[in-house]
A and B are shown apart, each in its own frame.
Chain A
Amino acid sequence: GAVVSQHPSWVICKSGTSVKIECRSLDFQATTMFWYRQFPKQSLMLMATSNEGSKATYEQGVEKDKFLINHASLTLSTLTVTSAHPEDSSFYICSAREETYEQYFGPGTRLTVT
């Protein structure tokens, strides 16, 4: 199956700083990428959808000025958590899809804000 990578896999940052997470589709071109957030023992919560070269579409309740998403190429999307606070600590997962409907997920990034 298709492979999606994320970097870093785990990051610890201080409150008030910004953190960037990268998501790459390694062996296919992703026309659409998605960013999810997941709390322990809960299902995935979609944060935003991004198409290459256009602005991301954010889900209701997700602050677009806090969670900056850039989809600069067909293989790379980035999520920047700006001015992070402890409540932003979570597991962030990206996924990518081609023109078909299967979504392939990255391994996730664990963010801890101290």
Chain B
Amino acid sequence: SQTIHQWPATLVQPVGSPLSLECTVEGTSNPNLYWYRQAAGRGLQLLFYSVGIGQISSEVPQNLSASRPQDRQFILSSKKLLLSDSGFYLCAWSRTGLLGYTFGSGTRLTVV
């Protein structure tokens, strides 16, 4: 069966520090991968999506970047965090032709 792993679960980082959040999928190949951010009490904002290794599309301009070094690995990064980067980050995967996303358990990032 397919599983998605996301870590760490919580993270407190100072302003200006770098960020690396990792997401991996098991039990499937060629997944579509997504990074979402959820601000407190708000909906989910699509940040990045990827349909293959090295293929990254950004939905909104921001202080973050994403990479997909392997088929089932998706990384969210920042060189210098801002206070506004705080939020709940969710990774998800889907398959073309199969409907519905499977989400990871999320990372709560607090920038102080």
* Bind each other: no
